[in-house]
Amino acid sequence: MHIFTTESVPGMTIEKNFGTVFGTVVRSRNVVGRTMGNISAFFGGRQSGDTKMVNETRDQAMSELGSNAEALGANAVLAMRFDSGEFDSGNGNIMQEITAYGTAVFLVRTPAETTPD
């Protein structure tokens, strides 16, 4: 599955447009991770645990996006973007949500133009 942030691909033509496709992943850190993150934040340290979780969640969202596009019959996703947010699922359990979205398409090579001899 090819995933592009651009709206078109040079040398390729959209043969079929399947519409918008999403890949969403929601995660939270465990109690130990949250506690260590709070201690690090108190001293102004880098939030490496949170950074790792966000990177993994982003990669999973892209993977899910590709799988969902493939299930529609697409071979590519164009104009891929991310959206993210946090929400409290109750009892102070903060959840991180990342959504990757774009347009699922089937791309084919654009025929080369031939010039008469």
pLDDT of residue 44: 58
Largest CA distance in the chain: 76
- Amino acid identity of 81? R
* Residue 7 in tokens: 């709206």
One of 3.40.50.720, 1.10.1380.10, 3.40.50.10800, 3.30.110.70 is the CATH number of 2-109, namely 3.30.110.70
pLDDT in the model for residue 36: 47
For the chain, the average pLDDT equals 85
Return the amino acid letter for 65: L
User: How far is CA 62 from each of CA 6, 12, 42, 86, rounded to the nearest angstrom?
Assistant: 15, 22, 32, 18
- Enumerate the domain spans of the chain: 2-109
**What global pTM score does this model have?**
0.77
95 pLDDT band, cuts 50/70/90, is confident
Say which residue, 110 or 51, is predicted with more confidence: 110
What is the tens place of the pLDDT at every residue in 11-61? Answer: 999 999 999 999 999 988 644 445 445 555 555 556 556 778 888 999 999
**Least confident window among 7-11, 38-42, 81-85, 107-111:** 38-42
CA-based radius of gyration for the chain: 20
The amino acid present at 62, given as its one-letter code, is: M
Q: Residue 51: what pLDDT?
A: 77
What integer is the mean pLDDT of 77-102?
A: 89
